[in-house]
Structure 1
Amino acid sequence: MYADNQNDITRLVVRSAQLLLAYGAVSDLIEELSQRLGKALGLVSVELTILSNALVFTSLARIQPNTFPVKVVTPVIGLSCASLYHLLAGDKIACLVACIVSSIGKSVRQFLTKRQFNLLVSFSITAFITNTAAIIHMLAETYVSNTVTARTQLTPQNQISPELSEQVTVSGFEMVFIVAAVAVGIALPSLVYYRNRPII
């Protein structure tokens, strides 16, 4: 039912209640007839309060929301975030990461919304997952680029210096520890949640 139809039905029910009140009907009868008339015309809920100088009427109609398919919305959100990042002078890899991270965030939000989570909880979880995915990329990219840069400088033509070897080792270990910490952080909640359930 559209808003125009709901307004027309509401006006009709209020007008009938006014006429019943003007011709001396009892307030209980006016309330009952108004509720029955509204429900018969397609309203879900009809509430009427009769005061000495006013009728207070509230109604709720069956409204079907216009929704887009999830399989279309998620990539479009990803592409729009990537294009915005590109407009802000981001490189291609950062645009790809923005596309993937925002698509993950939209998927998580739609998953939580479909299960009717509280909006604040849904927003918080989505923000945490999206920010975590973006930070993982930033941290890993820094250490990977440092490791690759230092490793390319360790060629047979150059003499191996202790500083360069230290940079390769430290950046490489930090990169491995970040990936390990992320893997444990992703796996740990599911291990805690499913610890009392059989695996098979």
Structure 2
Amino acid sequence: MKTLSYEEQTKITRAIIKAAVLMLEFGAESKLIEQTSQRMGKALGVDSVEISLIPSAIVLTTLKQDQSVTTTRRAHHKPINMSIVCDVQTICINLEKHQHPVQEVMQLLKDIQPNYYNRWLVVFMVGFACASFAYLRGADMPAFFITFLASSVAMFVRQELARKQFILLLSFGMTAFVATLIASLSQLNGISSTANIALSSSVLLLVPGFPFINSFLDAVKGYLSMGWGRWLQATLLTLATSMGIIFAMSILNIKGW
């Protein structure tokens, strides 16, 4: 059986936790993070990998015979990006097929970059999606175009706030405020007979569906701390969105949707 020096095992541990942190930061569910870490550890030559997850950090231990190495890394919140998770999975699969040295694995992980769509394409598609939902709910054409305008501008505002690294809760609240202000145009001079649909559909881009889904999956699969953490984060984002909507409605003296 091949033995590892403490320095070699330390490098392996750092590579594995680098992959785990990338997956956690960009939205992978906990079970997938644990499975990928264990597969990478086996492919790199350790006996087992033990991992502990919380929403803001990872503690990981690799075991080789009687030798163990433990390290901790903080995970920072980043926008959900499944391309990053897929890239880490690809590295793991290639590592299982071909025994790459740990230095090469670490370099591959460092070279991973998010594949972002063109920002104007995102603005257009988000606006079109919200407007289409409004149309499916029975909105008339003025409400359709106002929803498109409101949600497109809101998405642009959200992108700018993210670029300037605003707190996520503040970003959601301000985006909801802007979307509701613009959507209220549908109530001016009776432009639309379905103004309530425009108001509600223009903020759909702020629904935190992915965190809610991940929280449910984590809780069902036994990762209760991760499940509660992600659920609370999604709930706070929903609350921030609601506050932005309520603030805009109070300024405009709108009674409700």
State the TM-score, normalized to the length of structure 1: 0.46
Looking at CA atoms only, which structure, 1 or 2, has the larger radius of gyration? 1
State the TM-score, normalized to the length of structure 2: 0.37
